[in-house]
């Protein structure tokens, strides 16, 4: 495997990890601390949940792409 592919795979893996971590932290902050602190109604929590779900779907698609990159590089 060439070093360019290895670097691309590592970069994509770091990107995925960062997306998952930031999505989770922002969702927790909005749901548990910021939303109740400013008195947002409960229906806004559903918006936060959908935004977090979108972030996790994006990460899932990228995980599949990463898996495919690794499969192609092993051939």
pTM of model > 0.75: yes
Look at residue 75 in the predicted model and tell me its pLDDT: 74
CA distance 20 to 2: 27
Q: What share of the chain is helix, strand, coil (3-state, %, to 5)?
A: 90, 0, 10
> Which tokens is 50 given?
């959908």
Question: What pLDDT is stored for residue 34 in this prediction?
Answer: 94
66-67-69-72 Cα dihedral, nearest 10 degrees: 180
User: How many Cβ atoms are within 10 Å of 44's Cβ, its own excluded?
Assistant: 13
pLDDT at 1 over 90: no
């Amino acid at each position: 495997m060439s070093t360019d592919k290895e670097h691309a795979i590592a970069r994509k893996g770091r990107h995925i990890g960062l997306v998952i971590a930031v999505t989770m932290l922002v969702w927790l902050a909005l749901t548990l601390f910021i939303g109740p602190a400013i008195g947002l109604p409960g229906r806004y929590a559903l918006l936060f949940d959908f935004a977090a779900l979108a972030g996790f779907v994006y990460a899932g698609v990228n995980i599949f792409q990463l898996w495919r990159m690794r499969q192609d590089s092993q051939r």
